[in-house]
Amino acid sequence: MNIISHRTFFPIFTFIVIIAILAISTCSFLSQTYATSTFSSHGRHHLVLFLQGITTTLDDQSANSGHIVGLGSVPETLHYVFAQPSTRLLEYSYSASSVQNGLPTPYTCTDTITHSLFSDIVLLDQQIKHAMRAQPAATQVDITLIGHSLGGVIALGYLAFLEHKGFSISLPANAHLEAVITLDSPIGGVSAGFLTSFSLLGRQILEHQCPAAKGKTFTAMQDLETIFHSASTTFGATGLAASQGSKASLLSIAPSGHSSATHHEASNQSVLERAKTDLATSVLTIGNLNDFLFDPKACAAVLPSFLDTQFLLDEGRGSGLYGRMFNSGPNICPSITRLTTLNRDLMRTTQVVMANHTAVLSNPSVQQGITHFLQARTNNHLGGTPIPLLAHRLP
């Protein structure tokens, strides 16, 4: 004899289904709460360093005030994510930093152009060590680096040399490099000549932004060319097509004669995959598909295009290694075609190029993507999926 009649079966079944749904939702909520609480774990401090790009400056007033300058909405976004009083926000200096507390010293726009990239990485290494001296003794400190343009190359280069070891780049005791974020940064280098010799547009862009650079040696640009031509190095184990940013090697700028300079120059992707495991460091690379600084062919047909220098290979949701893209600014570059109007065309084109290159600093989708990336943990690594930004896919 059936104890449950057809009349009573469906209400009971419905009740059971509702209870199951509530249980699943509760588990999901608890797991999300755990992820958030893990990110904001008690007893750990945060140090966030902001790295401006090429042709930027830092004056005495800004350096002494400790305020973050030149990065649009990004500092506000990071301040929202790291709202705890135990978080310190710090500006990177292309010149030097205070030995006592890591505060930056002023620098000029020529400092961003004439230094070698490896010397800039060493300055970052020193500034992190100096900043750690201002932390309470025995405090665990999680470090986030976020850089625009050349600043992102320096930040990611620091991680690459930190993982590779043997170059006197090291983290202080109790410090953990948790994340690196690059914004419209040529992590795969820049095509030969565009910013150093034959290109009027390239030199116009740099010298318009930094008039004092005229007549100077563009050492940083030469290093970017070295990185670009290192892209024949061995790529990672994935069978997917590689971007310029993933297959080039930041290790190629190691000083000649260094004891580790002759070691195999592993691709950026393979080095950062190891860093994710060895150092528990997640990486987010973001690039504007309308950034004509890396697509000068759109402005003058004789120039090259290397947009994918901005991106790592995106390894997918929850991976902790991302190459994400967005579109912002005019999608057509004012062309440079006639010698009779060359100066006017160069000026107009420079304005559009620089506006699109800095759009990443205020784009709402970028700010949301950064927030989602930093607020979640996956497999014990920081690095939630940076939605709503889309994964960069090669054609």
- In a domain, residue 49? The reply is yes
Q: Give 103-156 pLDDT, tens digit per residue.
A: 999 999 999 999 999 999 999 999 999 999 999 988 999 999 999 999 999 999
- Which domain CATH number covers 375? 3.40.50
For residue 6, is it within any domain? no
- Closest listed residue to residue 272, CA positions, set 329, 335, 314, 215: 314
The answer to whether residue 303 sits within a structural domain is: yes
Whether residue 381 lies inside any domain: the answer is yes
Q: What is the DSSP pairing of strand 321-326 with strand 140-148? A: unpaired
Instruction: Indicate whether 34 belongs to any domain.
Output: no
Say if 114 falls within a structural domain. Answer: yes
d(CA 99, CA 131): 8
pLDDT, tens digit (0-9, with 9 covering 90-100), for 255-265:
976 545 445 57
Domain tally for the chain? 1
**Chain segment 328-375, per-residue pLDDT in tens:** 999 998 876 554 555 677 778 888 999 999 999 999 999 999 999 998
Provide the mean pLDDT of the chain: 83
Q: Is residue 22 in a domain?
A: no
Q: Which residues of the chain have pLDDT under 50?
A: 1-41, 237-239, 259, 261-262, 339
Tokens of 188: 């795969």
Q: Which residues form the domain of 225?
A: 42-391
pLDDT of residue 394: 56
> What pLDDT was estimated at residue 364?
97
Q: Is residue 379 part of a domain?
A: yes
